[in-house]
Structure 1
Amino acid sequence: MHEHDHISRSVKLAMEQYFRDLDGEAPAAVYEMVLACVEKPLIEVVLTYTQGNQTRAAEVLGLNRNTLRKKMKTYDLI
């Protein structure tokens, strides 16, 4: 099993639990919710991995450095 298979399975299990926990409420904006839940910890972990080097973190994430900085501001990481 590849590493990305573990991540994919974790997301699948979490989403299945989310829908079970709705308890009759209608889901809304699920795509944005999932991205917001995943993006901040992803950036935090990559920044830790790169010892705070934003240029390297942007490379690891496959983002432009300016895009990374905007996302860091969004999540109060700078």
Structure 2
Amino acid sequence: MTQWGKRQEPQDPHRQEPDTKKSKLLRECVREAVEDYFAHLDGHPTSDLYRMVLDEVEPPLLEIALRQTRGNYSRAAELLGMNRATLRKKLKQHEID
């Protein structure tokens, strides 16, 4: 308890608050890529943009998580904030070994 009587939640030593500057950089990269995509459509119709973006972003994210955890699926799933079964499903979906 703090001096004001409110219970403080234990802090996860491995969890870091996102670096706002880096987060904005990633957001800007995605924004620029999507805007570039629309600029090159040349008036052609498009649909399912959300799925298309996920299909482009998810595989490298999964691969990096696995590389950072040296192939440990449980740790990679934890790093990504998902359960191991979901990670395996996504790896299969994107044909990542």
Please report the TM-score for the alignment, with normalisation by the length of structure 2.
0.76
Query: For residue 76 of structure 2, what is the amino acid of its counterpart?
Result: A
> Which segments of 5 or more consecutive residues in structure 1 lack a partner in the other structure?
none
1:12 counterpart (23, 31, 45):
31
More RCO (CA 8 Å, sep 6+): 1
Distance 1:68 1:36 in 2: 14
Give the corresponding residue for 1:67. Answer: 86
Distance 2:69 2:53 in 1: 24
Distance 2:27 2:75 in 1: 24
The alpha-carbon deviation at position 76 of structure 1 amounts to 1.3
Query: For residue 76 of structure 1, what is the amino acid of its counterpart?
Result: E
1:31 counterpart (26, 50, 65):
50
Distance 2:22 2:78 in 1: 19
> Which segments of 5 or more consecutive residues in structure 2 lack a partner in the other structure?
1-19
Flag the structure with higher helix content.
1
Instruction: Tell me the C-alpha RMSD between the 2 structures.
Output: 1.0
The alignment covers a number of residue pairs equal to 78
Give the corresponding residue for 1:44. Answer: 63
Q: Percent identity?
A: 45
